Amino acid sequence: MNRLEHTEHLDRKLIDELAQVARETVRDELREQTRKQRRTATLYAASGATALYAGAALALAVGLALAIGLPGWAAALITAALLAAVAYLLRGAARPSGSRPTPTSEAAPTGHDHVVGGSAPGAPPSGLGMPYPPVPPVAPTAGVPATDGPHAAQPGAPRQDDVNPEAPRR
């Protein structure tokens, strides 16, 4: 029995040591990945700053070239208009194609068919069927049936009082 306790003690010690080695290995790996990502982010930031200065120098060159034949204020105004047009085009290119308005989605749908951002999908992209149950054409009333309007009780429809929870479902 004493030998069994000694073996358990060795097993626990070995497990603790293995867990410590695993923690240190994971910690070192995460440090290395963080160091690489920090270096990459710094290089991207430096690249962006350099591109910003290059764009400013290009805009200055365009303005100075236009200033040869035009007054300085007109050259600056034309340069600003060109930069605004380029910014607008780049903004449009950065948007995903699904968010651009199309002639069919610009008209505001009415009734229960209205879905924010366009029309409801027929099925999810995975092809596993409907992601949610179909919406009934008329919203259910909460207890009291309406007497007029679009939510009025239809002649053949059961009322809330007629429903028996004990009855078997059809």
- Which pLDDT score is estimated for 150? 55
Q: What is the pLDDT of residue 113?
A: 53
Is the four-CA dihedral 101, 103, 108, 114 of positive or negative sign? negative
> What's the full length of the chain, in residues?
170
Strand, coil or helix: what is 127? coil
- Sign of the torsion formed by the C-alpha atoms of 96, 100, 102 and 106: positive
pLDDT the model gives residue 65: 92
What sign results for the dihedral spanned by CA atoms 27, 32, 33, 34? positive
Q: What single-letter DSSP state applies at residue 140?
A: P
Answer yes or no: are the C-beta atoms of 46 and 33 closer than 8 Å.
no
Tens of each residue's pLDDT in the chain, 170 residues: 566 676 777 788 888 889 999 999 999 999 988 988 888 888 888 888 898 899 899 999 999 999 999 998 899 899 899 888 888 888 888 887 765 555 554 455 455 555 565 665 555 555 566 566 666 677 666 655 555 555 555 556 666 666 676 777 66
